[in-house]
Structure 1
Amino acid sequence: MRVLLTGSSGWLGRYLGPRLRAAGHAVVGMDVAPGAETQVIGTVADRAAVDRCFDDYGIEAVIHAGALHKPDIARFPAQAFVDVNITGTLNLLEAASAAGHDRFVFTSTTSLMITDAIRQEAGTVAAWLDEDSGPLMPRNIYGVTKRAAEELCRLQASVQGLNCVVLRTARFFPEDDDSLGEFPGGELSGPNLKANEFLNRRLTVEDAAEAHLVALERAPSLGFGTFVIAAPTPFDKADAEALKSDAAAVVAQYFPEAPGLYQRRGWKLPASIGRVYDAGRAERLLGFRCRTDFAAILTALRTDSPLPFAHDPAYVSPQAGPGDRG
């Protein structure tokens, strides 16, 4: 298929473009910034630019991975988030329906599932988060606009019959957390923190790319579906209280060698885990499971192999430009 990939110059796009081509698809990348995977420079907020792209390249399917993200809040006004994340999504959905497409994949975020209360982690038990969690009350303009875009996908599927798969991806960015130091665990090094997050809230960019490919293939048989995409957690709901009070002890129960391997690296296991993303539905219904999990992290530590995830504190989004980290 001739697939339009938005956000093609971004972190996910640079992995997803080659993966799509390897699967036999012709890929047309669209982004506001140039990049190796980008053929069309333009914004999805411009309907005329979207229509030209569809006409010029004969687009047959869309993976909409382009968006303004949480770090962009420091760089752009709220209206820009509405223009790109909401209007841009609507432009693509309507263009796809008009072209008679049978599949549309939308990159969403688990961030929209996090309320202020969940983020503060003030409760006595870890929040167990899956596709049925709610009510959804996103805490910033990023989450609000991504949630609205999800609803546009649902509506287009219902009214126009466009098969839409929404992927709520957990963390896979390579840079340090932009809120590092604000909450428990913030004193850890970037690699240590990322490794810990594979227990409950992270995946690799390679797994994120693979999830999109699977969603593209499965969309016609699913109709509409929303899926949390994260490394499989080793925990059970019954662990929620213990995870909040003594996560390190729970981890040691599941992975007895973890404390020693961490000590050898000079790392720390999480003292408390306040929320867990459950990606079980994606495995059951979408047929996708992340390859890299916490056990893979421990294998790398045990064998002194390279860590199986990217960490690059100097990474700058192409959209941000040199010197603009937000």
Structure 2
Amino acid sequence: MRILLTGSSGWLGRFLAPLLRANGHSVTGLDVAPGADTDVIGSVADRALVDRVFAERGIEAVIHGGALHKPDIARYPAQAFIDVNVTGTLNLLEAAAKAGHDRFVFTSTTSLMISQAIRDEAGDAAVWLDEASGPLEPRNIYGVTKLAAEQLCRLAWLNDGLNCVVLRTSRFFPEEDDTHRALSGENMKANELLHRRLTAGDAARAHLLALEKAPEIGFDAFIVSAPTPFARSECAELKRDAPAVIARHFPDALELYHAKGWEFPRSIGRVYDAGRAERRLGFRCETGFAEVLDALRAGRPLPFAHDPAYISPKEDAAPA
């Protein structure tokens, strides 16, 4: 299948483009920055460019991973988020519908599920988040535009019969967190695999499966995150004493952490439940917290990427 992959120079594209090719697909990469898997330099907000790529490359399906992200809020105005995340998505959906496509995969984010109240974590229990959670009240322009783009996908399915699978991915960036630095980056990423992170490799696998399953799904949105070991009934204790809950599920984790010089989270305020993606899409992440502990026990490299020096290609390519 001839696939247009947007965001091909980014972190997800680095993993997804080779995976698609390994599975027999022809990939045209579109990104605003050059990269090993990028064939066309330009923006999804440029409708003429999108139409030209569809015509010249004979595109048969789209995986739309290109976007402005949460750290970009400090660098770009709100209008840029609307242009790229909303108008860009509409451009691709309309081009796909016009071309008679039967599948479209959209990379969304769990961030759009986090209201300011959820982010403040002021309650007495962790917030359990699944696809039925709501109302959705994104706290910033990134979340607002990604939610709008999801709704455009829904309309494309209703109005044009374009099968669209939306993947609300949790965190998989390799760099340091742009707001929290209390723990080392590796320690924080390991902790987050308990409740709000996945690896880029797993994110790529989810997109490949979504591409294959889109015609039988029609339209749906899925949380994609490492499977949490926790149960909804543990939410109050997770907020009050997360180390006790972690130790109950993983009895030797504290010893392994101490040997590494790491710390457990004292409190966990939210948990993403990716169970529906497993039940309906047939997808489950291969890497989670248990695999981190396996690596620590065996002295192997950690099963996730951490790169404090990572810079988004679009920023790295920008003139000084």
Interval containing the TM-score (normalised by the shorter chain): over 0.9
Within 5 Å, which residues of 2 pair with 1:145-294? 145-181=145-181, 187-294=182-289
Q: d(CA) in 2 for partners of 1:98 and 1:155?
A: 14
Counterparts of 1:59 and 1:14 in 2: how far apart (Å)?
20
1:136 counterpart residue number: 136
Equivalent residue, structure 2, for 1:55: 55
Which residue in 2 is equivalent to 1:83? 83
Deviation of the 1:321 alpha carbon: 1.9
Distance 2:317 2:35 in 1: 14
Aligned to 1:115: 115
- AA partner of residue 219 (structure 1): A
Give the residue type in structure 2 aligned to 1:144: V
Deviations 1:238-264 (A, max 9, x none): 000000000000000000010100011
Q: Distance in 2 between matches of 1:293 and 1:71?
A: 25
Work out which of the residue numbers 297, 304, 307 in structure 2 matches 1:302: 297
Partner of 1:184: none
| 1:230 to partner: Cα distance | 0.1
The TM-score, its normalising length taken from structure 2, stands at: 0.99
Percent sequence identity over matched residues? Answer: 70
Q: Which one-letter code corresponds to 1:54 in the other structure?
A: F
User: Secondary structure of 1:97's match?
Assistant: helix
CA contact (8 A) 2:126 2:269 kept: yes
Q: For 1:313 and 1:14, how far apart are their aligned partners in 2?
A: 17
Letter matched to residue 252 of structure 1: A
- Deviations 1:136-175, CA, capped at 9 Å, x for gaps: 0000000000000000000110111000000000000000
Displacement of 1:120 after TM fit?
1.1
Paired residue for 1:99? 99
Q: Which residue of 1 aligns with 2:39?
A: 39
Q: Shift of residue 45 of structure 1? A: 0.3
Secondary structure, counterpart of 1:16 in structure 2: helix
Q: What's the TM-score once normalised by structure 1's chain length?
A: 0.97
**Contact 2:33–2:317 (Cα < 8 Å) also in 1:** no
Runs of 4+ in 1 over 3 A off after TM superposition: none
Residue identity matched to 2:176:
D
1:180 to partner: Cα distance: 1.4
**1:218, 1:65 → 2: CA distance?**
17
Displacement of 1:195 in angstroms is 0.1
Aligned partner of 1:10: which letter?
G
Aligned residue identity for 2:165: V
Distance, in Å, in 2 between the alignment partners of 1:110 and 1:213 is 19
1:69 corresponds in structure 2 to 69
RMSD: 1.1
Letter in structure 2 aligned against 1:76? Y
What is the SS of the residue equivalent to 2:316?
Answer: coil
1:13: which partner in 2? 13
Give the partner amino acid of 2:215. Answer: P
Gaps of 5+ in 2: none
Amino acid at match of 1:234: P
Instruction: Pick closer, same or farther for the CA change 1:244–1:323 going to 2, 3 Å.
Output: farther
For residues 273 and 295 of structure 2, what CA distance do their matches in structure 1 show?
24
Q: What per-residue deviation string (whole Å, max 9, x for no partner) do you get for residues 99-148 of structure 1? A: 00000000000000001111111110000001110000000000000000
Aligned CA distance change for structure 1 residues 156 and 322 (closer, same or farther; 3 Å): closer
Q: 1:322 to 1:219 in 2, by over 3 A?
A: closer
Question: For each residue in 1:17-53, what CA deviation from the matched residue of structure 2 results, as whole angstroms up to 9, or x when unmatched?
Answer: 0000000000000000000000011100010000000
Structure 1 contact 63–104 (Cα < 8 Å) conserved: yes
Whole-angstrom CA distance in 1 between matches of 2:141 and 2:221: 20
Contact 1:316–1:322 (CA under 8 A) maintained in structure 2: no
The secondary structure found in structure 2 opposite 1:128 is: strand
Query: Per the alignment, in what secondary structure is the counterpart of residue 226 of structure 1?
Result: strand
Question: Of residues 298, 317, 321 in structure 1, which corresponds to 2:316?
Answer: 321
Deviation at 1:322, TM superposition (A): 6.2
Q: How far off is 1:323 after superposition?
A: 8.9
Cα distance in 2, alignment partners of residues 293 and 321 from structure 1: 30
What amino acid does structure 1 have at the position aligned with 2:300? S
